[in-house]
A and B are shown apart, each in its own frame.
Chain A
Amino acid sequence: MNGFLPSLWAEALKTRRSKVPLFTAIGFSISPLMAGLFMIILKDPQAARSMGLITAKAQLVAGVADWPTFFSILTQAVAVGGAILFAIITAWVFGREFSDHTAKELLALPTSREAIVAAKFIVIAVWTLVLTVFIFLIGLLVGKLVVIPGWSEDLIRSASVDILGTAVLIIALLPFVALLASVGRGYLPPFGWTILTVVLAQIAAITGWGDWFPWSVPALFSGAAGPRSELIGLHSYMIVILAGLIGLAATFYWWRNADQTR
């Protein structure tokens, strides 16, 4: 893969100079803040009602105000928010080359197209993982500020596995978003694809086929629908990896072989 490091440098510079990382960080930090708000409400629903945070009609099903519940809410927020936000990041990294008409400057270079695509994927992976760690740290801070019981080192360890695991499963499925942004030469097709997969993931999970549908697996892993061991198995992880590899191969193939008329 000729020219991988220069490509990585270029992709990193484009990302650093863009405002998209800032916007995605702000957008994603809603997740821990939301989890913190839930904790405040659950700690004292009566006070929350009197403060106007919730109305009398609010159904409080989240449980009790403690660290395990807090992390559970945060992990589920990562599963839902990450699926959308990470897709936006991927759509931007690939789609911007077409909306800014810069794709044609990447095709006839000593640096191979494969190196450029690989650098883009690396930047997406690093970016989304850093975002995940960032909101995990914000979550810790919010949890400390809200003051909830149930803190333990074991819990932190298992919560970080849950959150990072959920994020990694979402990231593994991002190549399809990259492929749609490339083939569709812009932002709309990957966004349409993301909405479609979110809806299909819900349907698959409800009908009990979620463990076989790659896009359902991250949410099922996060514990949104119950204990993960009952919902997904080794085959679910395999199918996510397989889907990710197919997406990667298709994206590389497209950049290598497709006619670039724009």
Chain B
Amino acid sequence: MKQGEIYGFLGLNGAGKTTTIRALLGMIRPSAGDVKVLEQAVGPNGRGPWARIGHLVESPSAYPELTVRENLEIARRLHWIADPNATSHIIEKLALATYADRKAGTLSSGNLQRLGLARALLHEPELLILDEPANGLDPAGVVEIRELLASLAREEGVTIFMSSHILTEVDRLATRIGIIHKGHLIEELDIDKLEKLRAKRLEVKTRNLEAARISLQSAGYKPVMQDGIILIANEHAIEHPDEIAQILVNSGTPPTHLAVEQQNLEEHFLQLTEGAK
């Protein structure tokens, strides 16, 4: 991973996302090979660049009889952060001020997730390894955390590795995506490929595809035939499908189907994982 990158780690339930994350954090031994994070070997014996890494593994947890502040205070000391204001600072950043003196055992799952994220961010790590960071958050919380992660990556150069099975979340945030299936990385999509996936296109069907294609081409568009459909990626065409319809009608090949489509990550993901079964 490159610095400042947000890597979305996708997979079905049981695909091996959490297992990979636990191996990256030195909690379990890989069945083969070694694990290196930030160019340092990690292992179950506790070796690893942990002062530079923030993590959130599976569902967040906290000492229920301790307050939010006390839970974070423990994390601050175990991370050897000298600044006592670090705890208050992260409480503000994660909008936990209202709950700072509430016992963690009384928190909603969304606020517990915030506490988990606060603990991961407390020591200003350069790499964040997050397992399902949007779990349990309400829609506003999802947006807020997404913006927080995006700004951390963009403005502070924090590298983020996040697993998820919520595709829309990953799709909106990630700059690179890895798809894992049954313990194997089956595809990696970089930013260009992701952009292509996200790109809209105009789908056209007529009774005479070839004639339609020629007339569209002569009108200055770049139609592509694919599986009995004409695809047009031209932005003007996507924004003005009525003009395309006009051209087709005028050339005697009226459209039987005209639709702006966007292939998305979900479709791609399902195709991939279905294909790998």
A interface residues (Cβ-Cβ under 8 A, vs B):
3, 6-7, 9-10, 13-14, 17-19, 100-102, 104-114, 116, 256-261
Contact = CB atoms under 8 A, between A and B. Distances in A.
Contacts, number: 86
Given A110-B51, A111-B78, 9 more contacts: A6-B80, A10-B78, A14-B66, A17-B65, A17-B70, A102-B62, A110-B78, A113-B46, A260-B27
Contact of B22 (A112, A113, A260): A260
24 contacts: A3-B78, A10-B78, A13-B66, A14-B63, A14-B65, A14-B66, A17-B70, A100-B61, A100-B62, A101-B61, A104-B27, A104-B61, A105-B119, A107-B25, A108-B46, A109-B78, A110-B51, A110-B80, A114-B46, A256-B46, A257-B44, A259-B28, A260-B27, A260-B28
Given A111-B80, A261-B22, A102 B45 contact: no
B26 A105 contact: no
Nearest to B67: A17
Contact of B27 (A6, A17, A107): A107
Contacts of B78: 3, 6-7, 10, 106, 109-111, 116
Contact of A100 (B26, B44, B45, B63): B63
B74 interface: yes
A260 B44 contact: yes
* Chain B contact residues, majority secondary structure: loop
B53 interface: yes
B192 to A, nearest CB: 33
Contacts of B79: 109-111
Given A256-B44, A259-B27, A10 B50 contact: no
Nearest to B116: A105
A259 B35 CA distance: 14
Contacts of B181: none
B65 to A, nearest CB: 5
Contacts of A261: 22, 27-28
A18 B65 contact: yes
Interface string B41-59: 0001110101101010111
Interface in B13-39: 22, 25-29
Given A3-B80, A260-B22, A107 B63 contact: no
A154 to B, nearest CB: 44
Contact of B46 (A14, A18, A107): A107
A131 B44 CA distance: 36
A104 B51 contact: no
Contacts of A259: 27-29, 44
Nearest to A253: B45
A260 B42 CA distance: 14
B154 interface: no
A102 B48 contact: no
Contacts of B80: 3, 6, 110-111
Contacts of A110: 50-51, 78-80
A116 B77 CA distance: 12
Contacts of B22: 260-261
Contacts of B53: 108
A108 B240 CA distance: 55
B95 interface: no
B119 A100 contact: no
A101 B25 contact: no
B75 A105 contact: yes
B28 A256 contact: no
Interface in B165-217: none
A102 B60 CA distance: 9
B64 interface: yes
A116 B50 CA distance: 15
A9 B75 CA distance: 11
B48 A108 contact: yes
Nearest to B42: A108
A10 B76 CA distance: 10
A121 B64 CA distance: 22
B162 to A, nearest CB: 16
Nearest to B58: A104
A19 B53 CA distance: 34
A13 B55 contact: no
Contacts of A257: 44-45
Contacts of B70: 13, 17
